[in-house]
Structure 1
Amino acid sequence: MRRYLAPLVVGILGCAVLIQLGLWQLDRRDWKEGLLAEIVEGINAPPVPLPDQIDPSMKYLPVMVSGTTTGAEIDVLSHTREQGAGYQIVSRFITDDGRAILVDRGFVPQQMRRVERPPVRLQITGNLHWPQDASASTPAPNLDENIWFARDVEQMAATLDTLPVLVVASFVQGDNQGARPIPVAVEGIPNNHLSYAIQWFLIAATWAVMTLALIWRIRQRKY
């Protein structure tokens, strides 16, 4: 019996730790789902006028803003399921109270990228946003062609000489010049905790099978 004791203890302890990690991931999944629900509720809340003081803690705040585009814009490479490749148009926007901000007006298909979009007055309902689109493999923007591969609020603001404030439009009154708004949504926020939990449970099952196999081999040994 002593021959079985060490592998049995290791097997039980290993399975207990792995199962606990899986249960922890399930708890994390529940926490993330609650957080996403809060974000969705915030995104869909009644919009308010653009605050006087704005900072990233206001991410997703629904706002209303009126003003005029200047014709200056940044074209961010994008795509939609319906229209394929294209660009998100981020325009320099002067609010009625004189502030220069960024407005993500939405998506245009590739053939409309070079269509002229002169200054136009718009009333926009949308959300404040500080997207984190870039990854370590994202190329730097092609400033000569005005093609960007990710939205970077600080860098876009410096390029268009605006405050580091981005409003992502969900509804536009006025001539949006062919751009179709893509409202802020939670689909891009990862919630992979269930798959992580399944992985831990599978590892625990594998650990248990290996433990039983080891005990069986020990039993087959001759004294």
Structure 2
Amino acid sequence: MADIPSEKAPGQHTAAGLAIFCGLMLVLIAALLALGVWQVERLSWKEDLIARVDQRVHAEPVPAPVRAQWGQVSRANDEYRHVTAEGTLQNDRETLIYASTSLGPGYWVITPLKLADSTSVLINRGFVPTEKRDPATRSEGQIANPVKITGLLRITEPGGTLIKSNDPANDRWYSRDVAAIADRRGVADAAPYFIDADATTNPGGLPVGGLTQIAFPNNHLVYAITWFALAVMAAGLLAFVVRGELRARRS
């Protein structure tokens, strides 16, 4: 007759379960601490980014990157750089981008600026309300003479927004997609960036420039505190359970 396996003592079951619980809790605590450290690192990165952008915005303007420099233009090194560009606005090729600003809903007016070397850069000349979308209603602002534009270098916004996609075929735009706009308007040799014009008043008052929003959400400290607090709570729970088990064994 086969031997019947003996039942494990209750203490053995408890010890195995406690070991598994402790192992899982230690993994959880390590993960929470790692997330907290990561958020501290992100906080340092974000504060450095804000400082660099603030320095660029308030620096003296420099010439916008020319064709030979286009390949080196990047978000990390160049976005919000204070720049200037001189040329002739091609008002017959302007594009309207849906916008919601502190002045209300309306459009960004994007106009190619033809430079002396025959390249072009798209200029976000500023905001116009919906009732002024037709260039004929703001003819004074359609500057024909060569101009010098000062503003902030911005990186292209391909595709659209998280909510709506650009529809070039029907000329509906929700983001400033440099390549798509240049292609739709037949603008050759367009720079891979655009420039947000500053608040210099245009003739007739429109478009209204200088409305660039420079805001970077910085909640990393809150997130770090949250992860560390959860790690402390998890460690407290682990200590409570282990202490209770040890007391039970002693009694």
TM, length-normalised to structure 2 = 0.71
Question: What letter matches 1:196 in structure 2?
Answer: Y
**Count of equivalent residues:** 220
Matched, 1:186 2:214: yes
Sequence identity (%)? 27
Report the equivalent of 1:139.
165
Higher relative contact order (CA 8 A, sep 6+): 1
Deviations 1:76-115 (A, max 9, x none): 111113x221111111222345432210011112221124
Give matches, 1:33-52, under 5 Å.
33-52=47-66
* Higher strand proportion (structure 1 or 2): 1
Q: 1:60: Cα distance to partner?
A: 3.1
SS in 1 for 2:94: strand
* Partners of 1:93 and 1:103 within 8 A in 2: yes
Report the equivalent of 2:101.
80
Report the equivalent of 1:114.
134
Gaps of 5+ in 2: 1-10
Q: Which moved more, 1:34-43 or 1:178-187?
A: 178-187
Report the equivalent of 2:224.
197
Gaps of 5+ in 1: none
Report the equivalent of 1:92.
112
Instruction: Say which of 28, 31, 44 aligns to 1:14.
Output: 28
Determine which structure has more spread, i.e. the larger CA radius of gyration: 2
- Taking only aligned residues, the RMSD between alpha carbons, in angstroms, comes to 3.4
Q: 2: distance between equivalents of 1:105 and 1:183? A: 10
Q: 1: distance between equivalents of 2:234 and 2:204? A: 59
Deviations 1:9-67 (A, max 9, x none): 65355324412421331122012211221122123221123343342234333222233
Q: 2: distance between equivalents of 1:143 and 1:20? A: 48
Report the equivalent of 1:26.
40
Give matches, 1:138-217, under 5 Å.
138-141=164-167, 143-144=169-170, 146-160=171-185, 161-162=187-188, 163-164=190-191, 165-172=193-200, 174-175=202-203, 178-182=206-210, 184-187=212-215, 189-208=216-235, 210-211=237-238, 214-215=241-242
Q: 1:218: Cα distance to partner?
A: 5.0
SS in 2 for 1:132: coil
